[in-house]
Amino acid sequence: MDGDTSGVEGDNWNTDDELEIDNFSLSSNSSLTLPNGEALACSGEASSSAGSSNSKLIDHFIGMGFSEKMVAKAIQENGKENTDSILETLLTYSALESSPHGQQHIDSDHCSLECEGSFLDDFSDIDSFSDEEITNPVSDEEGKLSSLVKMGYTMDEASIAIERCGLDSSLVELTDFITAAQMAKVADVHFPLEDKPIPNHSFKKRKHFDYEMWKRKKQRGLEKRLLHDDDEEIIRLPNPMIGFGVPNDLCQTIHRTLPEAAIGPPFFYYENVALAPKGVWTTISRFLYDVEPEFVDSKYFCAAARKRGYVHNLPIEDRFPLVPLPPSTISEAFPLTKKWWPSWDPRTKLNCLQTCVGSAKLTERIRKAIEDYDGEPPQHVQKYVLDECRKWNLVWVGRNKVAPLEPDEVEKLLGFPTNHTRGGGISRTDRFKSLGNSFQVDTVAYHLSVLKAMFPNGINLLSLFSGIGGAEVALHRLGIPLKNVVSVEISEVNRNIVRSWWEQTNQRGNLIDLPDVQQLNGDRLEELMGSFGGFDLVVGGSPCNNLAGSNRLHRDGLEGKESSLFYDFFRILDLVKCIMNKTQ
DNA sequence: AGTAGTATGACGATCAAG
DNA sequence: CTTGATCGTCATACTACT
């Protein structure tokens, strides 16, 4: 999808229940932060974990060297009965925590235990709370966002609060807003309480706690470097990157057992770049019900590499590939290049298709560099040319002539129909951008193929961050009828592409497109699902802007401006799950 | 001259694999 | 250790129009 997701317009919120929050006074926090209010707000499980009956259990684990916050979260997740799984969770957390990127995500989870005590602490010094104390924010907004996340709120909640309250509002105002929103949500029967424990509002204490935590983690990180890191829970990429199997793979007898919480309905399928900063996939996996990601390189499906991670709860037996099988090498995909391909260019597969392509000037420079020599150019020229060709995915189109791929060639490689992104007022630049952000259809279709036997009459699909409709095209090419498709995509050109494809392929189903995942709330989902009886599949690849290696400027990880929309994928999936369970 | 859309090049770090 | 890959962003110059 496109990068700009910040266009939240207040007008569109009129139907949202959150709007009612405006009626709350932002400055008066007393009534909202009373322990009574918390007890009312928390689910049974969450509030009981804060009770005194657990103190022995907590002390037990604290005695083992785990932090109070961790123990509370682990108990909350596993229940107080199952001490074994609590211990296992704690061990996992402590491993995660020692990773440089993983540590901040522990903080981003909620914990109701910190509610204990000091409710009556005054907040008078809260405004002196300096963001820079903990993080090094680039802007005021990011600083506030980051602070809120560290205080235990979701990225989603934090950004909405800033949108609604304004950038110059204090942290107290922002946290009050979120609390009020959560209060309002509690009234909504469909709000998944167990996954959104109400954060406490003992600001002073939490601030202090977090700061101490941060110092401790920093310290531990230093210690860690001196020790072995063999117990790191960092997810490793498989080599070869074939996930749970690719077509023509001989050993396809892999079985897996999904965690209980991950089992559908609905089925879900999440995608993002495999080479994300350390700890990102651990966090993604943890949020998506602890499902182990499947890392696959699309070079096993087509002539271009595309290293991606997929988290899904689909069966992995009896998969089958799309037919016809796409060309597997560059020369098969583009036969005309064979004639001009020099023997000293060993490439048979293209690298990852990106959002930008090489310039005409660059190909000109390359031509001139080779032209000076009669036969084979010297080593250093070969090296230069090959480096540029690999970096920009250039192919040989004439004597001494290289060129970037054309948009229709990229469409072909990615498994889309030719001219899928063409016309309708879409520029060449935008085509490359949309295609570069898309799925490789054959790869995704292989994973989704198991649905065909299960849903002979078709499926209802929720497609988040749809882009140019990679999931829709994959399902269609598999011959799985699309009954109702709700497609959420911020970019208007992309929505037009999907709409136009939908009409051209004579779909019998119903396509509903929405612009913004952030505005898709429980009410709207319930309304949509009520009309056709729930979703069979939720698909989405959230923005990779802040995860991708090509991003020199803002590779900020999952908390980055765009990539944090992952949490909206989780939020919405969890809402769908909740509603589905309720109506069954 | 103003404007909107387009093309170009400068901008390294991170992480895995050999 | 070195090599290689990587769903990118930004300011600026350029182009094709009014």
Query: CATH number for the domain including A554?
Result: 3.40.50.150
Q: Clarify whether residues A42 and A174 are in a common domain.
A: yes
Contacts 24+ apart (CB under 8 A), A333-341: A333/A302, A333/A303, A333/A409, A333/A412, A333/A413, A334/A395, A334/A409, A336/A397, A337/A395, A337/A396, A337/A397, A340/A396, A340/A397, A340/A398, A340/A399, A340/A401, A341/A396
Domain residues for A547? 263-324+417-582
Q: Clarify whether residues A365 and A493 are in a common domain.
A: no
Helix crossing, A83-97 with A55-63: angle to 10°? 50
d(CA A430, CA A299): 24
> Domain end: A367, A385, A409, which one?
A409
Q: Clarify whether residues A542 and A466 are in a common domain.
A: yes
Q: Which nucleotide is nearest to A429 (CA to C1')?
A: B6
In a domain, A250, yes or no: no
Query: Between the CA of A360 and the C1' of C14, what is the distance in angstroms?
Result: 14
Contact present, A410 and A435 (Cβ < 8 Å): yes
- Cis before A324? omega within 30: yes
Looking at residue A424, its pLDDT comes to 87
> Domain end: A384, A409, A434, which one?
A409
Q: Clarify whether residues A400 and A505 are in a common domain.
A: no
Q: Clarify whether residues A55 and A115 are in a common domain.
A: yes
In a domain, A217, yes or no: yes
Collapsing DSSP states into helix, strand and coil, what is residue A409?
Answer: helix
In a domain, A118, yes or no: yes
Q: Clarify whether residues A403 and A430 are in a common domain.
A: no
Q: Which nucleotide is nearest to A546 (CA to C1')?
A: C8
Query: Where are the alpha helices (H) located in A188-279, listed in sequence order?
Result: 203-226
Q: In total, how many domains does chain A have?
A: 3
Looking at residue A379, its pLDDT comes to 93
Looking at residue A180, its pLDDT comes to 53
Q: Clarify whether residues A165 and A99 are in a common domain.
A: yes
Q: Clarify whether residues A301 and A176 are in a common domain.
A: no
Contact present, A281 and A293 (Cβ < 8 Å): yes
d(CA A279, CA A297): 20
> Domain end: A379, A409, A439, which one?
A409
Residues 339-358 of A with CB under 7 A from strand B: 356
Q: Tell me which protein residue sits closest to nucleotide C10, measuring alpha carbon to C1'.
A: A553
Question: Is strand B less than 7 A from the beta carbon of A499?
Answer: no
Residues 245-284 of A with CB under 7 A from strand B: 275, 277-278
Query: Between the CA of A428 and the C1' of B1, what is the distance in angstroms?
Result: 28
In a domain, A239, yes or no: no
Query: Between the CA of A430 and the C1' of C13, what is the distance in angstroms?
Result: 20
Question: Is strand C less than 7 A from the beta carbon of A544?
Answer: yes
Q: Clarify whether residues A346 and A286 are in a common domain.
A: no
Q: Clarify whether residues A423 and A310 are in a common domain.
A: yes
Query: Between the CA of A562 and the C1' of C9, what is the distance in angstroms?
Result: 13
Please name the helix (run of DSSP H) or strand (run of DSSP E) that holds residue A541, with its range, or none: strand A537-541
Q: Per-residue confidence of chain A (584 residues) as pLDDT tens digits?
A: 433 333 332 223 232 332 222 332 223 232 222 222 222 222 223 333 333 445 556 655 555 556 666 667 766 766 666 655 656 665 555 545 444 333 333 333 333 223 222 222 333 333 333 333 333 444 666 667 776 665 666 666 677 666 665 666 666 566 656 655 554 443 333 333 333 332 332 222 222 333 333 333 334 433 333 334 444 478 999 999 999 999 987 666 788 999 999 998 999 999 999 999 999 999 999 999 999 999 999 999 999 999 999 999 999 999 999 999 999 999 999 999 999 999 999 999 999 999 999 999 999 999 999 999 988 999 999 999 999 999 999 999 999 999 999 999 999 999 999 999 998 889 999 999 999 999 999 999 999 999 999 999 999 999 999 999 999 999 999 999 999 999 999 999 999 999 999 999 999 999 999 999 999 999 999 999 999 999 999 999 999 999 999 999 999 999 999 999 999 999 999 999 999 988 76
In a domain, A358, yes or no: yes
Q: Clarify whether residues A275 and A403 are in a common domain.
A: no
In a domain, A43, yes or no: yes
Beta bridge partners, A537, equal: A267, A461
Q: Which nucleotide is nearest to A272 (CA to C1')?
A: C7
Residues 89-118 of A with CB under 7 A from strand B: 100-101
In a domain, A306, yes or no: yes
Q: Clarify whether residues A397 and A276 are in a common domain.
A: no
Question: Is strand B less than 7 A from the beta carbon of A493?
Answer: no
DSSP state of A386: H
Q: Tell me which protein residue sits closest to nucleotide C3, measuring alpha carbon to C1'.
A: A387
In a domain, A233, yes or no: no
Those nucleotides of strand B lying less than 7 Å from any protein Cβ are 5-9, 11-18
Residues 553-582 of A with CB under 7 A from strand B: 553, 555
